[in-house]
Structure 1
Amino acid sequence: MANASSKRIASANETALKNLQLGLIIVNTLAPAIRLILSLFTSRHLLPRKFVIFLHVISFGATVVTWNWFKTIGTPSRPGSGQVRVGEDLGGKGVVELGWDLIYMTWICTLGSAILGDWIWWFSLLVPAFGGYKLFSTIRPILAMFLPGIFGSKQPGQAQTGAAGQAQDGAAAQPEEKESKRQAKLRARMEKGDKRVQQQQVQRSR
């Protein structure tokens, strides 16, 4: 079972790395071509502003670094005997997921800016914003230990307390309800003159 799971992850990693390499080639070849075509038939400039060029260089370098990191941790090895070894699942959560978000957002901004304009690069701010959110979600339990009044959540505890109280009330009310029905039956039998009920009442009084 473990080897079957490793083979599945290895196959998924190999496919992801091939698609990633193909995507890097297509995006970074298609974007300059689109800019060249639009500059010939429209009034747009071939080269964007210096700040946008700087964003292009930084984002391209980040995607290449991420790609090499994915290759290092995700490329499977087959030492022999049908065994497959794989470091990390490239479809996992955490830092790996943030790396994919960085790559996808860079591709969107690269192609989007070539087609629609350089304002698309504002969407790149979503990557650090999402990273900050994930980091806060990770360290929030630690902060809650030191500052429970600010970072702690009281709703689950209150919900558990309320549920426990309702369960106790229900448990206490159920015997009372059963007892009241029993007393009502005994009273009805006494009114009808049932001798067995009368004998039970006499024995209880003794």
Structure 2
Amino acid sequence: MVISLNPMANASSKRIASANETALKNLELGLLIVNSLSPLLRFFLSLVTSRSFIPRKFVIFLHVVLVGGSIVTWRWFKTVGTPSRAGSGVRVGADLGGKGVIELGWDLIYMTWICTLGSAILGDWVWWLSLLIPAFASYKLFSTIRPILAMFLPGIFGPKNPQAQAQQQQAQGNAAATGGEDRPESKRQAKLKARMERGDKRVQQVQVQRNR
């Protein structure tokens, strides 16, 4: 989105630019605090407990990969979320509070922070929580492409029973159109109907009086 440089700039664009600036500052501060505090906590706990200061190689690998991914995501957020000049106007950055890929980027950063600090305090087993990142990403990706898959494979990715669902909606619409006349009869009405079928004279007399 490109806006002109004048006092009447779009209020929504200004709000997005301000929110992005705040989010990027908090993100930079969070990256600094988490990655500085984690080794300090590990060192302190290695002195007071039997835990080793240096984690296992696999944990180091996960830490490097996820922290590196967080830094790359931060740089990408800074690129797409910062306003830039575009000719005679300003190109407003993408909303960093949006959904889709941006939301997955935040999930990666937050889960990395949780695993980094959690493993420093509780132990290296906390890094198993990092498996939630690809699991959630796969779920979001499937939710995004499911409507497309349903177009080609409706029997697998479509509604469970579209015919039954359509019939139910049609029945509800008919009931609403007739003012609720299709509602099931009450127990009293069912008993009176049964008596009439058996030829109960009292019920027949009441029915005759109503007809009059």
Q: TM-score range by the shorter chain?
A: 0.7 to 0.9
Say if 2:83 is the partner of 1:76.
yes
* DSSP 3-state at the match of 2:106: helix
Which one has the bigger helix percentage?
1
State the match for 2:128 in structure 1: 122
Of the three residues 132, 139, 142, the one matched with 2:145 is 139
Amino acid in structure 2 at the alignment position of 1:101: D
Q: Report the count of equivalent residues.
A: 179
Say if 2:54 is the partner of 1:47.
yes
Identity of aligned residues (%): 71
Say if 2:156 is the partner of 1:150.
yes
Structure 1 distance, partners of 2:160, 2:18, is 44
Structure 2 distance, partners of 1:170, 1:67, is 54
Structure of greater Rg: 1
State the match for 1:165 in structure 2: 171
Of the three residues 18, 27, 34, the one matched with 1:11 is 18
State the match for 2:205 in structure 1: none
Q: 1:57 to 1:171 in 2, by over 3 A?
A: closer
TM-score by length of 1: 0.77
Cα deviations by residue, 1:125-162 (Å, 9 ceiling, x for unpaired) = 00100000011111111111121111100456633432
Say if 2:28 is the partner of 1:21.
yes
Structure 1 distance, partners of 2:31, 2:121, is 17
- Give unmatched runs, 5+ long, in structure 2: 1-7, 182-207
User: Is the Cα contact below 8 Å between 1:6 and 1:84 reproduced in 2?
Assistant: no
Structure 2 distance, partners of 1:173, 1:90, is 49
User: Is the Cα contact below 8 Å between 2:17 and 2:93 reproduced in 1?
Assistant: no
Q: 1:164 to 1:4 in 2, by over 3 A?
A: same
Cα deviations by residue, 1:155-197 (Å, 9 ceiling, x for unpaired) = 566334323234335646889xxxxxxxx9xx75xxxxxxxxx
